[in-house]
């Protein structure tokens, strides 16, 4: 009885008999199989037929299955593609090397078809869930860009924030999860503005007290919109707290100092700079030097983390230098 999902499995094996048996067995389970007789051939197939799972032998001539696994896992396109290494039960060195290379599972030779069926199905279920999460994140990121598009004055704001915050966090020594959260936060920090009417969002003059309160609700609304998406757990505090201030005078929760999550403190400084440096319905764009001067003055007055502002100014200098250098190239 077939139980495959139609997923594509790349079988990499230099022994014809074993390769054909694996391909036939997986095809009988309902999977689409693509085969390669070497690791080099597998790399070529990856460029045209991205698989949902890779099943590879260890010992295959010039390039081993271990090296193939390492190459696959270093490629951002395939980092989340499960790789199963076929190895002899007694080959402990290959298993250790496979783990170091990023292998997701091992399968002993000679293999049992029932075990093969069960282990492959389990890995593909996980891959399917990861793909669904990535799809949901893409939809939300697109939604963030759509919200930005409501206001012609903020064109490119989300993309700039994503770029600036990731560069700043890297300069501060932040780790991978923080960088990922800030990249998504750049696009999603104003997600809650979906609940703000255009009449308030695009108002050219000062907001009245009721309108200001409506605007100040957007961080809470945005954070609530992604509640339950565990893959965005690190992004939610950035959305909710990017309008908090170092001295506790911000909103929505009046957090103070290091009680404000690091990602939100980074986003706050970058968001203020971009708002100062770009045109808005209620103000002209300020030159870079003037925007930086205001940012320094507000930091001295207690609004922003005194460690983050100078680091951001250095990051801006570096980005400007890179832009000039590339322009001359």
pLDDT of residue 1: 39
Domain membership of residue 1 (yes or no) is: no
Per residue, the 3-state secondary structure of the chain, as one string, reads: CCCCCCCEEEEECCCHHHHHHHHHHHHHCCCEEEEECCHHHHHHHHHHCCCCEEEEECCCCCCCHHHHHHHHHHCCCCCCCCEEEEEECCCHHHHHHHHHHCCCEEEEECCCHHHHHHHHHHHHHHHHHHHHHHHHHHHHHHHHHHHHHCCHHHCCHHHHHHHHHHHHHHHCCCCHHHHHHHHHHHHHCCHHHHHCCHHHHCCCCCCCHHHHHHHCCHHHHHHHHCCCCHHHCCCHHHHHHCCCCCCCCCCCCCCCHHHCCHHHHHHHHHHHHHHHHCCECCECCCCHHHHHHHHHHHHHCCCCCCCHHHHHHHHHHHHHHHHHHHHHC
Domain membership of residue 189 (yes or no) is: yes
For residue 314, what is the domain's CATH number?
1.10.3210.10
pLDDT of residue 272: 95
Count of domains observed in the chain? 2
pLDDT mean across residues, the chain: 85
For 127-137, what is the mean pLDDT?
Answer: 66
Beta carbons of 278 and 153 less than 8 angstroms apart: yes
Compute the distance between CA of residue 303 and CA of residue 296 in angstroms, rounded to an integer. 10
Domain membership of residue 140 (yes or no) is: no
- Whole domain around residue 203: which residue ranges? 150-328
Binning pLDDT at 50, 70 and 90, where does residue 329 land? very low
Q: Is the pLDDT of residue 181 over 80?
A: yes
Q: What is the pTM of this model?
A: 0.60
- Domain end (from 130, 161, 194): 130
Domain membership of residue 227 (yes or no) is: yes
Domain membership of residue 3 (yes or no) is: no
pLDDT of residue 153: 53
pLDDT digits (tens, 9 = 90+) for 25-78: 888 888 999 999 999 999 999 999 999 999 998 888 889 889 999 999 888 788
């Amino acid at each position: 009885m077939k139980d495959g999902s139609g997923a594509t499995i790349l079988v990499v094996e230099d022994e014809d008999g074993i390769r054909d048996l694996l391909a036939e067995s997986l095809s009988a389970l309902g999977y689409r199989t693509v085969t390669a007789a070497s690791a080099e051939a597998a790399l070529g197939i990856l460029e045209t037929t991205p698989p949902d799972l890779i099943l590879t032998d260890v010992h295959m001539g010039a390039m081993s299955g271990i090296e193939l696994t390492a190459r696959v896992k270093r490629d951002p396109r395939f980092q989340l593609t499960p790789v199963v290494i076929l190895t002899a039960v007694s080959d402990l060195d290959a298993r250790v090397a496979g783990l170091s290379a990023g292998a997701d599972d091992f399968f002993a030779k000679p293999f049992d078809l029932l075990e093969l069926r069960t282990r492959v199905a389990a890995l593909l279920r996980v891959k399917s869930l990861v793909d669904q999460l990535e799809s949901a994140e893409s939809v939300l990121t697109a939604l963030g860009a759509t919200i930005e598009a409501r206001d012609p004055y903020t064109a490119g704001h989300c993309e700039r924030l994503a770029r600036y915050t990731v560069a700043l966090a890297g300069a501060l020594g932040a780790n991978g999860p923080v960088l990922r959260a800030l990249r998504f936060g750049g696009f999603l920090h104003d997600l809650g503005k979906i609940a703000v009417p255009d009449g308030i969002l695009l108002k050219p003059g000062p907001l009245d007290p009721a309108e200001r309160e409506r605007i100040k609700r957007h961080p809470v609304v945005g954070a609530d919109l992604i509640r339950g998406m565990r893959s965005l757990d690190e992004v939610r505090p950035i959305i909710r707290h990017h309008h908090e201030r170092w001295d506790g005078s911000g909103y929505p929760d009046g957090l103070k100092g290091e009680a404000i999550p690091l990602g939100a403190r980074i986003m706050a400084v970058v968001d203020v700079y971009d708002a100062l440096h770009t045109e808005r319905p209620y103000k002209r764009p300020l030159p870079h030097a003037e925007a930086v001067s205001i940012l320094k003055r507000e930091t001295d007055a207690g609004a922003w983390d005194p460690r983050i502002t100078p680091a951001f100014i250095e990051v801006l200098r570096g980005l400007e230098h890179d832009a000039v250098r590339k322009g001359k190239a």
